[in-house]
Amino acid sequence: MKIIRNIEQLRQELDGQTSIGFVPTMGFLHEGHASLLKQARQENDIVVLSIFVNPTQFGPNEDLDRYPRDAERDQALAEAAAVDYLFYPTNETMYPLDMARVTVRSGDDVLCGASRPGHFDGVLTVVSKLFNIVRPNRAYFGLKDAQQLALIEGYIADYFVPVEIRRCPIIRETDGLAKSSRNVYLSELEREQAPGIQQALVQAKSWLDDGQPIEQVVEQTRALLQFEGTSIDYVEAVSYPALGPVTATTETILLAVAVQFQSARLIDNLLYTRGA
């Protein structure tokens, strides 16, 4: 595995490659990231992993400075996953002039976007930059960040970007908690409470299977997420991948939740296809 920090060097290394799989991350890698790298390894000749804690997707009161970082551990996981190139850019590398950014026109006023204005502008801006640098054939994203994934797919379609987006399933702990770099912030009690998020979504699927109205399912799911010492950021159902209102003709519903613990905000979701 080669560790590269310079854009031109990476482009030279990748020049002429016909099958490049790309996994963009913010580091502090876990088994969820490893699953993306595994799929990329299976489907491509070359695998590129980027690690960059992108400042433009953090709000003024969010956790940019304390976002977990562990370069040595990340490199070990990358090598174990048979990554060919690990790209480590700096802020100056990624934002040399910072004169232009991608702006989201729809789909960012619900779910995480409703309480994080500008967040997805930052996400799409850095993804655009990374795609221009790496020029991958395929890029791999987890469905845990389902809103992010839908917006990236929309960006790809709107800008005719020649990359195939590969959706990858949520990877969970044995007790059902979705893997997240922020799980390390949970206290012992919060770690015991946190699997209840996925348990609520499993129950929600059962209600949907029974034909209960989506509005009722949302409210019942909210009631299951009342953990002591926490607050609910949102429990919301939207169409997927359009991220619009659910109607009688909506085929796939995204039921997504965000719960704020004392030092960590955890998200999870259920993708539900009617009649499947």
DSSP state letter for 210: T
Whether 30 is catalytic: no
Q: How many other CB atoms are found less than 10 A from the CB of residue 143?
A: 18
CA 137 to CA 64: how far, in whole Å?
30
List own/partner pairs for 6-9 with CB under 8 A and 24 or more apart: 6/93, 7/89, 7/93, 7/133
Q: How many other CB atoms are found less than 10 A from the CB of residue 164?
A: 13
Q: Which of 30, 33, 119, 135 is catalytic?
A: 33
Using DSSP, state whether 148 is helix, strand or coil: helix
Instruction: Yes or no: say if 249 and 112 are a contact pair by the CB < 8 Å rule.
Output: no
Burial class (CB in 10 A: 0-12, 13-18, 19+), 101: middle
Burial class (CB in 10 A: 0-12, 13-18, 19+), 85: buried
Task: Give me the residue label for tokens 């969010």.
Answer: 62
Report, as residue numbers or ranges, the catalytic residues. 33
